[in-house]
Structure 1
Amino acid sequence: MRIAYFIHGRGRGHSSRALTLLPALLGHGWKCQVFAGDMAYEVLCDRPAVKPIRSILPGSSPLLFVRRIAQDVKRLRTYEPDVVISDGDAPCTYAAKLLGVKVISIGHALIFPYCDHPIALPKEGLRKERFKVKVATGLADFKVAVHFTPIRPLSEDTRVARPDIDVAADQLSRDGYVVSYFRDGNGTEIISALLRLGVVVINFGKPISLEGVDNQPSDAEKFREKLKHASGVVGSAGSNLIFEAIAMQKPLLIQYIAGDFEQAANVSYVEYEDLGVGVVAGQLDTSKIEAYAKGLKKKKKGTDVLGVVPALSDVVVELVQTVLHSQGE
């Protein structure tokens, strides 16, 4: 079995999933050629069989998208995979279908068109997000919606999975600081408010130039180690940060940009499950931040919301085996 694994390069989520999914695939004796974009390549470049690609970001020219499809057709003809796994990378899906190769698509945004929602989401935003995600993933043979609640898929070709984040309770503590990660580097206002309340902040990723902030470079392993002993998590309302915080039973204070439907939906689900609170960037809600800071000193019982959702690696391995059986191998 030969697998071509394409990974989108914006944010931490795509590459973080690869850190645990890749070993699971390789552990079955399957060969994997990874094509990683931008930030994902930075994380994975020291591993064997990883090649850089250019990720197609929101607002990119349609010409770039078409060019990437042509490049991916060449890549797939050279590598001749039995299956393509796409984590957030749209062009490879089109290239694979042109060549008749099965595709497994992974992503957190797949919940919007392919799952039933127990909470009300803005209709216009949901319509647009469904259309956008279907354009990117509609040709995939199997869809894996990565989420932190046991949301129900709408069809048999869709699975719901959680990231492979399993941490024993005796490895966790609350040592009086919060860790922060803001994908777009826009956390100054909210971090400033926390500092005024006496909260100790260890920030990863883009530096926040405020006295009292311990800025650390992007490092997935170091981030998770600090997270194990944090009292809370502050940052962008991206799915991966939320997954990690929930897995390690850390209360969330998450920020989203007005008009960012996906992150606003994440906040709605976090608040629905009573896992934390959300604020809008540029519209500082001091009462929410003060309540969050006070809550850090309280010991709240952890939730096992992730425990009822199957792990991503188990789901993807099962789907790869399904492809194998369909090919008579």
Structure 2
Amino acid sequence: MKKHILFTGGGSAGHVTVNTALIPYFQKNGWKTFYIGSKNGIEQEIITEQFPDIPYHGISSGKLRRYFSVKNFSDPFRVLKGLMESLKIIRKTKPDIIFSKGGFVSVPVVMAAKMKGIPVAIHESDVTPGLANKLAIPFATKIFTTFPEALQHTPEEKSICAGAIIREELFNGNPAAGRKITGFHNLKPVLMIMGGSLGSRKINDAVRQNLDHLLERYQVIHLCGKGNLDSSLQRDGYLQYEYVSSELTDFLAITDMVISRAGSNSIFEFLALKKPMLLIPLSREASRGDQILNANSFVKQGFALKLEEEELSPQSFLLKLEELENNQTQIKTAMESGLDAYTIDDMYQVLSKMSLS
């Protein structure tokens, strides 16, 4: 009889990436897979596009904010509705195990799993757990962390530092395909700029204000986020996309350096591919500060340079980029040591054993 696994996580692309790495491996090993996400979140778009054969179940989800909002009074009822919907889906799909990548949509799913006695594994990408995973930890059977520092914030008896779970297809990028799609040549290095799945106005502005200067030295792939394309900028050697999916591996195969936010999944992928990176983490005003901690960890280990968002200007952007170019060799040398990480097979073996408990 086929085993069943239910994946959950959403709210941002970072709360889906590890799931998209694991899903094909479980499918290859004969598991029936299901997904619970929000009804209109980015996770629905990603999962249904990449895995059209997977039943996707959308549930109601709320958000616990760290600031005053009238929605703080209504969202608990949305979470309660999501809990009821999760219980119904779990009864229908009968999972042997649930894997949660986090995000607020995962909280009612994890709670429902605990109520039904189903083993739950959660994955925390950042140095400190996000609020959703903090709420989920008491209901979890096993907790996987990416950064070793994160073990200071999770129960020792059920936590494992697994490192980064990297999608296998990431290593299969084809430079020839990347050059064909982009029309880029190999006479100038390729710079990829990513502002996260929702984009970053400040990073986009710094790129566009410096575009002529950048194109003197680089060919630029600019992932600027949904709704952030600027159709007035049509230049040779400059391509802008809201978001890329299937093309990303081929784009990374021709990329020499990366400028990016400091979301854990992305920066560990750049590390795995040995791409020198300049990290511009979300500020504490716009986040809980997790990206700053992620970036600090990578800078300390010599994997990256960092530019604080508060210090970002057209001038500082160019200066840090020049510093990145000058330090490529040292950064790549540091990256060779990397961080120990579970393989997908390691994770599969642990989860398989959990499903037997």
Range of TM-score over shorter length = 0.7 to 0.9
For residues 326 and 124 of structure 2, what CA distance do their matches in structure 1 show?
A: 34
Q: Compute the displacement of 1:137 (Å).
A: 2.6
1:263 matched residue in structure 2? 291
299-308 or 59-68: bigger deviation = 299-308
> Which residue type is aligned with residue 31 of structure 2?
W
Deviates more, 1:202-211 or 1:314-323: 202-211
Which residue matches 2:98?
84
Give, in angstroms, the shift of residue 197 of structure 1: 3.5
Cα separation, partners in 2 of 1:5 and 1:133, compared to 1, 3 Å: closer
Which deviates more, 187-196 or 14-23? 187-196
1:163 corresponds in structure 2 to 165
CA distance in 1, matches of 2:174, 2:48: 29
- Name the CA distance, whole Å, in 1 between partners of 2:317 and 2:144: 34
The answer (yes or no) to whether the contact 2:175–2:254 under 8 Å persists in 1 is yes
Other-structure match for 1:189: 205
Offset, 1:267: 1.3
Query: Kindly tell me: are residues 132 and 49 of structure 1, through their superposed partners in 2, closer, same or farther at Cα, counting changes over 3 Å?
Result: closer
322, 331, 334: which one aligns with 1:293: 322
Indicate whether 1:137 and 2:137 are aligned: yes
Give me the identity figure in percent: 18
Query: If the length of structure 2 is used for normalisation, what is the TM-score?
Result: 0.75
Number of positions where the alignment pairs a residue of Structure 1 with one of Structure 2: 305
Q: Is residue 61 of structure 2 the alignment partner of residue 33 of structure 1?
A: no
Give the corresponding residue for 1:2. Answer: 4
Separation in structure 2 between the aligned mates of residue 233 and residue 56 of structure 1, nearest angstrom: 34
The CA RMSD over aligned residues, in Å, is: 2.9
- Tell me, which stretches of 5 or more residues in structure 2 are unaligned? 66-70, 177-185
Q: Is the 8 A contact 1:172 1:248 kept in 2?
A: no
Residues 94-113 of structure 1 correspond to what in structure 2 (within 5 A)? Answer: 94-109=111-126, 111-112=127-128
* TM-score, structure 1 as length reference: 0.81
Q: Which has the higher helix share?
A: 2
The reply to whether residue 53 of structure 1 matches residue 58 of structure 2 is yes
TM-superposed deviation, 1:287: 4.1
CA–CA distance in 1 between the matches of 2:5 and 2:173?
A: 37
Q: Deviations over 1:69-111 (max 9, x none)?
A: 11101111111211111111222110111111111112313x4
1:208 and 1:84 map into 2 onto residues whose CA distance is 37
Distance 1:316 1:214 in 2: 37
| Structure 2 Cα separation of the partners of residues 216 and 23 of structure 1 | 26
Superposition map of 1:200-215 within 5 A = 200-204=219-223, 205-206=225-226, 207-209=228-230, 211=233, 212=235, 213-215=238-240
Deviation at 1:180, TM superposition (A): 1.7
> Comparing both structures, which one devotes a greater share of its residues to strand?
1
The separation in 1 between residues aligned to 2:273 and 2:79, in whole angstroms, is 38
Tell me if 1:44 matches 2:47.
yes
Q: 1:71 to 1:246 in 2, by over 3 A?
A: same
Aligned-partner Cα distance in 2 for 1:294–1:138:
44
Q: Compare 192-201 and 10-19 and name the one that shifted more.
A: 192-201
Please list every run of 5 or more consecutive structure 1 residues that lacks an aligned counterpart in the other structure: 114-128
**C-alpha displacement of 1:168:** 6.0
Distance 1:192 1:163, change over 3 A: same
The 8 Å contact of residues 193 and 289 in structure 1, kept in 2 or not, is answered as no
Distance (Å, rounded) in 1 between the aligned partners of 2:347 and 2:172: 26
Asked whether the 8 Å contact 2:174–2:250 carries over to 1, the reply is no
Helix, strand or coil at the partner of 2:208: helix
Partner-residue secondary structure (3-state), 1:277: strand
- Structure-1 separation of matches of 2:272 and 2:43: 22
Q: Deviations over 1:92-149 (max 9, x none)?
A: 110111111111112313x426xxxxxxxxxxxxxxx5x66321332100011134xx
CA distance change for structure 1 residues 236 and 86 in 2, over 3 Å: closer, same or farther? Answer: same
Distance 1:223 1:18 in 2: 17
SS class of match (2:112): helix
Matched, 1:226 2:251: yes
Task: Describe the shift of the 1:15–1:160 C-alpha distance in structure 2 as closer, same or farther (beyond 3 A).
Answer: same
Per the alignment, residue 23 of structure 1 pairs with: 24
